[in-house]
Amino acid sequence: MSLRHLLFNHIFISFCIIYFTTSRHYVSAKTQKCRLNSQKQAVFQHPVINSTTTGTNAPPSTTTSHSTVTSMASSTGSPTPTAIPNFAYGVDKIRGVNLGGWLVLEPWITPSVFESTGNDQIVDEFTMGQLLDTATAQAILKQHWDTWITEDDFVQIAAAGLNHVRIPIGYWSIPLTSSGTSTSTSPAPYTPGAWPYLLRALTWARNHGISVIVDLHGAPGSQNGYDNSGQRTSNPVWGVTPDNITRTVDTLRFMAKEIGDQVSVIELLNEGAGFRGNDWATAIRGFFGNAYEAVREAAGDEVKVMIGDAFLGVNSWTNFLTPPNGHDAMMDFHEYQIFSDLELNRTFDQHIDFACTYTQTLGSYESTSLWTVVGEWSNALTDCAQWLNGRGIGARWDATWFPGPNSQFHGSCNGFTGNWENWTDDYKDMLRKYWEVQVEVGETVQGWVFWTWKAENADEWSYQKGLEGGWIPMDPTDRKFPNICA
Ligand SMILES: *[C@@H]1O[C@H](CO)[C@@H](O)[C@H](O)[C@H]1NC(C)=O
Ligand SMILES: *[C@@H]1O[C@H](CO)[C@@H](O)[C@H](O)[C@H]1NC(C)=O
Ligand SMILES: *[C@@H]1O[C@H](CO)[C@@H](O)[C@H](O)[C@H]1NC(C)=O
Ligand SMILES: *[C@@H]1O[C@H](CO)[C@@H](O)[C@H](O)[C@H]1NC(C)=O
């Protein structure tokens, strides 16, 4: 770890202790064979979807359907249609988008969903379940699951030359049963029901040649306290509650059994808060080891297993899960430069230069340890997107985030977020260059997954709007700014 990293982490840790309740991310310093086997008789099965149907988006079947599985296997019993697209890991570059704010809500991605509750105390999926009656919460969520991502999105994603999606899901959506764990299986206060939507999305992905990284984004007790873990809290407890960690391992085992032959990558946990202290860092490390074993036992050797750096820097994970302790493991690194004044102080050129430093950091880590993917990054140069820091919370950029004497004003948010219609050409050029540099960095290792495919009211975060507005090219290998880091 470089001195700069240490210094940054130090600042970052103090910063987190003060403000850990509010931010999505702080850090920058910071073919599967088909195995249709007997394990797949459990509660939920693939929904029956007519993939040639367009224009309608019938809700996925939530019923058990052995017939689907049976009909998918040929008469000789050899596995066929559930095989996922072949992707040449280690040769081809992962180019993907996150399906953010779909199966795990985030207020800033879909403010309208939160506004529709009529209750501004509802700041995440946890409080939505707590403060709404069950029928209302179910109706709101179902409407959202049915419409936010449809098969047409997979058509557009494939047309944009992308080969992966990363799909966040919360533990409360994964129908772990008591036969699979000694811990609680209650989703309360969350509203379950997203699982069949995930299963249907796997069918869509397969239909359109897209590989899937399924990502456990919310763990019991919350692994980081961010709203995107399901629960915005200053006191996440996952890392210090062994029962919650056990439940997480059991949930991953269940998921691996159910869909391990339909996804390319299972990501064990998104953004565990390793910065909260040694107890958390140690818990995350132990959890990754146990969850890795559980996934391998349940799903075999084909599926890739992804860990994250837990905000500790990739160099904290040198030789972790490398042979003989593991195989086909991958590292997910997230890069944002907007969640502190320190980072917002950077000029545009400094943001570009800073991004380039990761070619070295990630490249050298990968050469000794695991395949590395930049699994979250965006075009955002400010934290201006409405509610990015949490529902009801402003931005650091324009000093509306905890306004006060110590709050630094970097500039007005006008023209940086919202609808791109009136953005300047200069700004769109910056977004293009920032996109290109991060793609360049990601492709020095195994590739990249942009955060995020869609956002209601923050076009700088939207891959779809970038394609529409022209600051993201329709062919992800096109360059206006070749070899920025060279
Ligand atoms: C699927 O939908 C297409 C188009 O609507 C229809 O022609 C076809 O018969 C359907 N197949 C099944 C199995 O329902
Ligand atoms: C987390 O663990 C505690 C302690 O065993 C337990 O009471 C609680 O129900 C668990 N939370 C979840 C969401 O499983
Ligand atoms: C950002 O820049 C301002 C103005 O130069 C300076 O006062 C402030 O200390 C800087 N903030 C950080 C966190 O470096
Ligand atoms: C763009 O600017 C025009 C003229 O100022 C304004 O009427 C329109 O509402 C703006 N559009 C957006 C999306 O902000």
pLDDT at 86: 87
Write out pLDDT tens, residues 162-187.
999 999 999 999 999 999 999 999 99
Q: Which ligand is nearest to the CA of 11?
A: 3
Parent domain of 395:
94-469
pTM over 0.75: yes
> In terms of DSSP bridges, do strands 164-170 and 265-267 run parallel, antiparallel, or are they unpaired?
unpaired
Are the CB atoms for 124 and 227 separated by under 8 Å? yes
Q: Is the peptide bond before 242 cis (omega within 30 degrees of 0)?
A: no
Per-residue pLDDT of the chain (486 residues; tens, 9 = 90+): 333 343 333 333 333 333 333 344 433 323 222 222 222 222 222 233 323 333 334 446 543 333 332 333 333 333 334 557 889 999 999 999 999 999 999 999 999 999 999 999 999 999 999 999 999 999 999 999 999 999 999 999 999 999 999 999 999 999 999 999 999 999 999 999 999 999 999 999 999 999 999 999 999 999 999 999 999 999 999 999 999 999 999 999 999 999 999 999 999 999 999 999 999 999 999 999 999 999 999 999 999 999 999 999 999 999 999 999 999 999 999 999 999 999 999 999 999 999 999 999 999 999 999 999 999 999 999 999 999 999 999 999 999 998 888 899 999 999 999 999 999 999 999 999 999 999 999 999 999 999 999 999 999 999 999 999 999 999 999 999 999 999
Q: What is the total residue count of the chain?
A: 486
Q: How far apart are CA 389 and CA 432, in angstroms?
A: 24
Pick from 53, 67, 68, 71 the residue to mutate for probing ligand 1's pocket: most ligand atoms within 8 Å of its CB: 53
Q: How far is the CA of 422 from the centre of ligand 4 (A)?
A: 6
DSSP 8-class letter at 77: -
Pick from 384, 422, 459 the residue to mutate for probing ligand 4's pocket: most ligand atoms within 8 Å of its CB: 422
The pair of three-digit structure tokens given for residue 4, joined into one six-digit string: 């700069």
Q: Is 271 one of the annotated active-site residues of the chain?
A: yes
Q: Is 440 one of the annotated active-site residues of the chain?
A: no
pLDDT at 61: 53
| Residue 475 covered by a domain | no
Q: Which ligand is nearest to the CA of 54?
A: 1
For residue 424 and ligand 4, the question of a CB distance below 6 A is answered with: no
Q: How far is the CA of 420 from the centre of ligand 3 (A)?
A: 29
Q: How far apart are CA 341 and CA 366, in angstroms?
A: 30
Query: For ligand 1, what atom is nearest to the CA of residue 50?
Result: 1
Are the CB atoms for 424 and 464 separated by under 8 Å? no
Write out pLDDT tens, residues 18-64.
333 334 443 332 322 222 222 222 222 223 332 333 333 444 654 33
CB neighbourhood size of 151 (10 A): 21
Q: Taking CA 265 as the corner, what is the angle to CA 263 and CA 270, rounded to the nearest 5 degrees?
A: 120
Of residues 343, 4, 373, the one with CA closest to residue 211: 373
Are the CB atoms for 315 and 1 separated by under 8 Å? yes
| Residue 418 covered by a domain | yes
Q: How far is the CA of 345 from the centre of ligand 3 (A)?
A: 6
Question: How many domains are there within the chain?
Answer: 1
Q: Which ligand is nearest to the CA of 248?
A: 2
Are the CB atoms for 226 and 46 separated by under 8 Å? no
Q: How far is the CA of 115 from the centre of ligand 4 (A)?
A: 23
Q: Which ligand is nearest to the CA of 230?
A: 2
Q: How far apart are CA 245 and CA 182, in angstroms?
A: 12
| Residue 430 covered by a domain | yes
Query: For ligand 3, what atom is nearest to the CA of residue 340?
Result: 13
Strand partners for 94: 447
Q: How far is the CA of 251 from the centre of ligand 2 (A)?
A: 14
Measure the CA dihedral 104/105/110/114, to 10°: 160
| Residue 431 covered by a domain | yes
Q: How far apart are CA 156 and CA 138, in angstroms?
A: 28
DSSP 8-class letter at 418: B
Question: Considering 106, 366, 376, 460, which one is annotated as catalytic?
Answer: 376
DSSP 350-363: HHHHHHHHHHHHHH
Of residues 17, 97, 34, 26, the one with CA closest to residue 379: 97
| Residue 318 covered by a domain | yes
For residue 186 and ligand 2, the question of a CB distance below 6 A is answered with: no
Measure the N-to-C terminal CA separation of the chain; round to a whole number of Å: 22
Of residues 243, 246, 218, the one with CA closest to residue 128: 218
Q: How far apart are CA 155 and CA 211, in angstroms?
A: 13
| Residue 335 covered by a domain | yes
| E strand map for 26-157 | 94-98
The pair of three-digit structure tokens given for residue 345, joined into one six-digit string: 């102080």
The pair of three-digit structure tokens given for residue 176, joined into one six-digit string: 């772990």
Query: For ligand 3, what atom is nearest to the CA of residue 341?
Result: 13
Q: How far apart are CA 365 and CA 234, in angstroms?
A: 32
For residue 422 and ligand 4, the question of a CB distance below 6 A is answered with: yes
Q: How far apart are CA 90 and CA 284, in angstroms?
A: 26
| Residue 69 covered by a domain | no
HSE-CB at 300 with a 13 A cutoff on CA atoms is 16
| Residue 204 covered by a domain | yes
Q: Is 426 exposed, middle or buried (0-12, 13-18, 19+ CB in 10 A)?
A: exposed
Residue type, 14: S
pLDDT at 149: 98
pLDDT at 406: 87
Atom 7 (ligand 3) nearest CA: 408
User: What residues have CB less than 8 Å from 158, skipping those under 6 apart?
Assistant: 208, 209, 210
Q: How far is the CA of 244 from the centre of ligand 2 (A)?
A: 5
pLDDT at 83: 56
pLDDT at 204: 97
Query: For ligand 2, what atom is nearest to the CA of residue 237?
Result: 1
Q: Residue 294 sits in a domain of what CATH number?
A: 3.20.20.80
Residue that the structure tokens 């500039």 belong to = 411
